[in-house]
């Protein structure tokens, strides 16, 4: 009983009380965390675009492609750990929960070290594959090499936050990211505006901010070490077979999906880059804005997955369904508000990042095309949270491949090669790519098959 009490003091029990209140209290800090994270990542482009120019914008955007490529991988494994921990917490299996934390952290840090080495060694080859404009190669190379040093901080931060959110704790990650944002904004202005270090200065600011968030998260994890079973000694960081296999079974398909999705995005970005600096600049800024404007729906899905995981672990299936409905209503309302803002102020939004008149003009069309993406993403994020929360890695993988690879590339090729829509075909391909995944997620939700596909149910059958 003492052990249970200790665990309950870390995080929120999402299996009791009002569903809507519990979700909103939990998702609020998640939204703010992701919002601040996007803001401080956008500061790089804002500062570079205003004080260095379009070549600097393309250099930072292209040089950051691998970091953008690997961040979803870190998030995928963090989500795998989060869902497993959420189900263990909901089932009140605290001994297994504590045993899983050390293995999870070790796995994440090991992957980060591997990716950092590969990124640095093959930097030039990667930039060549991305069709980086010749003028932007020096900036892109400097940015990529320096930011590679920050990969362990990215993976470490996501791992700690995955543990905390699985246990219902969403406030602390907000504090961690605030520390990162302050460091990033201050250093961006200092190193780029004052010291004139251009892309290298932005990269140093990025790594320093990532280190700040990881250090803050690690300190908090050490403070609550008794509640989660964390120990700061070498023997603790061993990958035990059972939790690692479960996390890998859930995380690998999600990570592979994230990689393939990111490959398709890289392919589209490289294709857009071939249309010149204006198209490349529009796409670079547009991608940042799209991520920023969809923070609410992605945050609701992230928080919903944890809430659903806890309730499925506790076998409270009706509450799990209510979580999805709360998400759906909320995300559709936000999508409507965003669409109005995008329709009324497209140039003002793009103008935050660039003064280039041609980029601003193309940006108006880009944002109007993306309106359909905002609504479809609201539907996908809501219903897919049940796929994620139940730990159905296979279906989540298939949905991701359809969403990010088959539909996105297929539609883009169709619109560009057959309908001769040029660069706008890639924008429309991205906007329409989530419709089929939305339908599949809804079918899975209403089939009720998720009741028998949780990680703990599968584990019981395997035994």
| Rounded average pLDDT per 10-residue block, the chain, 463 residues | 44 79 83 76 72 71 79 85 80 74 87 91 86 80 89 92 82 83 86 83 88 88 79 78 83 78 79 86 84 81 80 86 92 93 90 83 91 92 88 83 84 88 90 91 91 62 53
At 275, list the tokens.
């249309």
Radius of gyration of the CA atoms of the chain, in A: 21
> How confident is the model at residue 444, as a pLDDT?
93
- End-to-end Cα separation, the chain, in angstroms: 27
> How confident is the model at residue 440, as a pLDDT?
93
> How confident is the model at residue 7, as a pLDDT?
43
Whether the CB-CB separation of 60 and 54 falls below 8 Å is answered with no
At 450, list the tokens.
């998720």
At 12, list the tokens.
């929120």
H helix runs in 224-316, sequence order: 225-228, 241-273, 277-293, 295-313
Dist. CA 360–CA 363, nearest whole Å? 5
Whether the CB-CB separation of 268 and 426 falls below 8 Å is answered with yes
> How confident is the model at residue 4, as a pLDDT?
42
CA proximity to 285, closest of 229, 214, 340, 366: 366
∠ CA(445), CA(448), CA(452), 5° rounding?
120
- Count helices and strands in the chain by DSSP H and E runs: 23, 0
CA proximity to 378, closest of 430, 308, 324, 423: 324
> How confident is the model at residue 41, as a pLDDT?
66
Whether the CB-CB separation of 164 and 173 falls below 8 Å is answered with yes
Whether the CB-CB separation of 86 and 310 falls below 8 Å is answered with yes
> How confident is the model at residue 457, as a pLDDT?
56
> How confident is the model at residue 1, as a pLDDT?
36
CB-based burial, 324-334: b 16+ in 10 Å, e otherwise: bebbbebbeeb
Burial classification of residue 99, based on how many CB atoms lie within 10 Å of its CB (0-12 exposed, 13-18 middle, 19 or more buried): middle
Secondary element (H or E) of residue 184: helix 171-188
> How confident is the model at residue 333, as a pLDDT?
93
Please, what is the angle between helix 317-344 and helix 357-369, to 10°?
A: 140
Dist. CA 181–CA 189, nearest whole Å? 12
**At a CB cut-off of 8 Å and minimum separation 6, what does 411 contact?**
428, 429, 432, 433
Whether the CB-CB separation of 43 and 209 falls below 8 Å is answered with no
Dist. CA 463–CA 449, nearest whole Å? 21
∠ CA(424), CA(425), CA(428), 5° rounding?
85
């Amino acid at each position: 009983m003492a052990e249970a009490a200790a665990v309950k003091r870390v995080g929120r029990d999402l299996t009791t009380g009002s569903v809507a209140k519990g979700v909103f209290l939990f998702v609020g800090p998640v939204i703010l965390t992701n919002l601040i994270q996007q803001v401080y990542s956008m500061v790089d482009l804002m500062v570079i675009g205003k004080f260095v120019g379009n070549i600097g914008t393309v250099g930072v955007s292209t040089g950051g492609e691998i970091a953008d490529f690997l961040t979803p991988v870190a998030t995928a494994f963090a989500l795998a750990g989060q869902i497993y921990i959420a189900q263990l917490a909901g089932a009140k299996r605290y001994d297994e929960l504590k045993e899983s934390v050390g293995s999870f952290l070790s796995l994440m840090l090991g992957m980060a070290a591997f990716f950092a080495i590969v990124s640095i060694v093959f930097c030039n080859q990667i930039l060549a594959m991305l069709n980086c404009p010749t003028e932007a190669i020096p900036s892109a190379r400097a940015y990529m090499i320096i930011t590679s040093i920050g990969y362990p901080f990215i993976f470490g931060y996501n791992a700690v936050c995955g543990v905390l959110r699985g246990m219902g704790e969403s406030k602390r990650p907000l504090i961690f990211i605030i520390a990162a944002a302050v460091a990033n904004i201050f250093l961006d202005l200092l190193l780029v505006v004052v010291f004139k270090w251009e892309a290298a200065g932005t990269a140093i600011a990025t790594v320093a901010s990532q280190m700040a968030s990881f250090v803050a998260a690690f300190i908090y994890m050490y403070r609550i070490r008794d509640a989660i079973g964390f120990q700061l000694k070498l023997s603790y960081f061993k990958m035990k077979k059972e939790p690692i296999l479960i996390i890998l079974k859930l995380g690998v398909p999600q990570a592979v999906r994230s990689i393939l999705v990111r490959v398709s995005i890289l392919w589209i970005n490289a294709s857009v880059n071939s249309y010149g600096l204006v198209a490349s600049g529009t796409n670079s800024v547009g991608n940042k804005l799209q991520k920023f404007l969809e923070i609410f729906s992605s945050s609701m899905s992230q928080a919903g997955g944890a809430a659903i995981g806890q309730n499925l672990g506790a076998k409270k299936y009706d509450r799990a369904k209510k979580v999805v409905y709360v998400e759906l209503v909320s995300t559709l309302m936000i999508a409507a508000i965003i669409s109005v803002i995008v329709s009324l102020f497209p140039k003002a939004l793009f103008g935050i990042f660039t003064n280039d008149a041609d980029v601003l003009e193309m940006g108006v069309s880009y944002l109007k095309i993306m309106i359909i993406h905002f609504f479809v993403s609201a539907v996908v994020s809501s219903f897919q949270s049940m796929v994620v929360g139940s730990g159905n890695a296979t279906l989540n993988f298939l949905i991701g491949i359809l969403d990010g690879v088959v539909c996105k590339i297929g539609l883009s090729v169709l619109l560009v090669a057959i309908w001769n829509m040029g660069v706008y075909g890639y924008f429309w391909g991205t906007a329409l790519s989530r419709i089929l995944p939305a339908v599949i997620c809804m079918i899975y939700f209403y089939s009720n098959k998720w009741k028998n596909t949780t990680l703990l149910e599968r584990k019981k059958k395997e035994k």
